[in-house]
Chains A and B, each alone.
Chain A
Amino acid sequence: MAQPKSFRARNILTLPLLGAFLRWRWGRAVLQSIFFLLALLLIIDGFTGPQLAPRNLATVAPWVHYRGLIVLVLLLMGNLFCMACPFHLSRSLAKRLSKRGRRFPRHLRNKWLSIAALFTIFFLYEWLDLWASPLLTAWVIIAYIAASFVLDAIFTESPFCKYVCPLGAFNFAYSTLSPTQIQVMNPQICAHCQGKECVNGSWSPQRLVRTDTIPVQTPDGGLTYEARQVEQGPQGVLGCPTTLYPPQLRSNMDCILCLDCVRACPHQNIALIARPPASELFRPHLWLKRWDMALFVIILSFMGLMNAFGMVPPVYALQEQLAQTFAIRSEFILLALIFLAGNIVLPISLTLSAAYLTRIFTRQKHPLRHIVAAFAPAFVPLGFGIWFAHYAFHFLITPLSIVPVLQEFLGQSGEWARFSTPVNADIISFIQALALLGGFALSLLIAQQTALRLFKRQGMLGFLPWALLLLVMMGFAFAIFTMPMEMRGSALMG
């Protein structure tokens, strides 16, 4: 069936070269292979190179360049990292080696595990000073590969991608701002598709043939039905690894942009469309009204604040203060206290307070869970702005430092003087301010529209607690980014 004109214009998969590459059966494997080889380089240098973070690929590539580029790519294109994810290769290998396993436990099929994984990786980052240790960073990469292999060998779907991977969780949350999205062209075709290959896959050990009767538009605008033969076989592809069903897709959340649905669809009915950035965040009932989903994006934005807070002098003063007050000398316990307070207790209590105040102000009896779920998307832009300001800072300080690091890895003298020039400080500050203010403004707009939709005439009253919470977060972020940064391990480590 021909694509409707509106889709043809916006479908990235119809672009010359790029579209063909993305649709190509091995397109993703090529990208993954490149990234897998890069991951191998990082592991090799992490284990055998100098244990000086600025001169080792294992630390410079992930902690400076990956993080700086990922926020840019998410904002301008989409979840391309998950598309090219090097850990996916070990997952594919696991899938081939294992028998058909069981489903991931039902009580773990939510975002609580993602929150725990994010908490753990950010905690380890601070506690073990991962940013300063090529060796430990190499071990983290190995742990990723091992975890994705083991989980995908045991379970049928891709639990590592959907429920565990902290990198994926970050990308899922902030790809909701991206200007691209998977979308079906004609939902009627999906309704008449027997195999639902997009989610079930078109792979089968033997060749299978069936006939779908699908609706087709006639030249005069009418509708007729056409019998179409569909094949499955050993050359088919797996279905959506995160078990998303494209006709029901309303959000980029959980989409790893693998395009397996595109390749599996026997009716060429799935497009990768260009859309206004962040448009999905304005949709009502975007995600299910679940605590885990709502708190996931809210906690991630607070994690952005805490991660940046770890870079400024007051964090050391706070550690000292806590150490003296509670007579604790263990850095692990002190950091755990700060992390639990800033990343878990604070976001949950502030969010519940805002929801409770909203209910009092508007005198409406919505359950707190519904209110929090409705306002959760408003935290995405500000959270992203905070992460962007932080990661852009590290990236722009020496955007080309990867060049001398590579030169030294290859046995040459690194041209540090040539490639270590920082971007002008005023430009960095401007970009940081733009990210924060832009994110804040968009967050306010989403919260306001949510409040008006939910509480009608009392919308502005319902908006007030959320605007206040976002303002406090913004103020805190602004204070952090205008403070002098200090790059050090824990003050207690001496």
Chain B
Amino acid sequence: MRPLPNQQQKAINEMKLRLYFGFILLFTLLVGCRQQATPAADQNLDVQLEFSNSDAVGESNLAITITDAQGQSITDAQVEVRGDMTHAGMTPVIVTAQIGDDGRYHAAFEWTMGGDWIVTVSVRLADGSLVEQTFDYSIAGAMNMDMSDSPMTTPEATAEE
């Protein structure tokens, strides 16, 4: 290979440096892209979860109570519940809860594996604002890897009246 003259080499090095800083700038800008939700406490909302089974792997009925600062139930929100294992790469369980006659939101939720779970409740209020709250659970038991009937794949069929 014929060696490049020093000036040409310098120009290439400068270009590489600019390219790197350009990319770093771009990625730094990307940081601001993520959608942000407000923590429920900041909106003076109280979110309570009640699982029929929060100990072992298997099906569970979930009831969610959402109240405002005055203790009034909020019944016109869109509520989505997402269960994640603390380990990266595990299949999440995502269900949509629907309002029931008792003023609470209901959904069928399946603990698919034993271990530590983080359940995130996302509440889209009538004014369009998004509020989130997380809850930690520890589940015992074997893993259910047959997720073909997991609520995540049929979110519309998960609500309970």
Contacts and interface: CB of A to CB of B under 8 A. Distances in A.
B38 interface: no
A417 B155 contact: yes
B30 A52 contact: no
Given A25-B1, A44-B28, A422-B91, A416 B152 contact: yes
B30 A44 contact: yes
Contacts of A484: 114, 141-143
B86 A129 contact: yes
Nearest to B20: A33
Contact of B4 (A235, A313, A410): A235
Contacts of B91: 397-398, 401, 420-422
Contacts of A233: 3
A64 interface: yes
Interface in A473-494: 484-489
Contact of A488 (B27, B92, B115): B115
B135 interface: no
A131 B116 CA distance: 12
Interface string B107-130: 000000111101010000000000
A70 to B, nearest CB: 14
Contacts of A44: 27-28, 30-31
Interface string B44-63: 00000000000000000000
Contacts of B115: 485-488
A44 B31 CA distance: 7
B70 interface: no
A20 B146 CA distance: 46
B84 A41 contact: no
Contacts of B153: 417, 421
Contact of B86 (A65, A132, A395): A132
Nearest to B115: A487
B90 A416 contact: no
Interface string A215-239: 0000000000000000001110000
A445 to B, nearest CB: 33
Given A25-B1, A487-B115, A54 B35 contact: no
A321 to B, nearest CB: 17
The size class of the interface chain B forms with chain A is 35 or more
Interface string A313-332: 10000000000000000000
A273 B84 CA distance: 45
Interface string A132-163: 10000000000000000000000000000000
A487 B85 contact: yes
A413 B118 CA distance: 19
B88 interface: yes
A49 interface: yes
A40 interface: yes
A59 B84 CA distance: 13
B11 interface: no
Interface residues of A, number: 50
A245 interface: no
Q: Which of A50, A409, A488 has the most CB of B within 10 A?
A: A488
B69 interface: no
B90 A398 contact: yes
B84 A487 contact: no
Contacts of B33: 409-411
A63 B1 contact: no
Contacts of A422: 91, 145, 147
Nearest to B153: A417
Contacts of B43: none
Contacts of B146: 425
B34 A409 contact: yes
Given A48-B31, A410-B33, A484-B114, A234 B89 contact: no
Interface string B69-101: 000000000000010111111111010000000
Contacts of B4: 235
Given A54-B85, A54-B90, A486-B114, A234 B152 contact: no
23 contacts: A33-B20, A40-B24, A44-B27, A44-B31, A48-B34, A49-B34, A54-B84, A63-B88, A63-B89, A64-B89, A129-B86, A131-B87, A132-B88, A235-B1, A313-B114, A410-B30, A411-B35, A422-B91, A425-B146, A485-B115, A486-B114, A487-B115, A488-B116
Interface of B: 1, 3-4, 20, 23-24, 27-28, 30-31, 33-35, 82, 84-92, 94, 113-116, 118, 120, 134, 138, 140-143, 145-147, 152-153, 155
The 6 A-B residue pairs with the shortest CB-CB distance in the complex, in nearest-first order: A411-B33, A484-B142, A64-B89, A487-B115, A425-B145, A59-B88
Interface of A: 25, 33, 37, 40-41, 44, 48-50, 52-56, 59-60, 63-65, 129, 131-132, 207, 233-235, 313, 394-395, 397-398, 401, 408-411, 413, 416-417, 420-422, 425, 428, 484-489
Given A233-B3, A485-B113, 10 more contacts: A54-B85, A132-B88, A394-B89, A397-B91, A398-B90, A420-B91, A485-B115, A487-B115, A488-B116, A489-B116
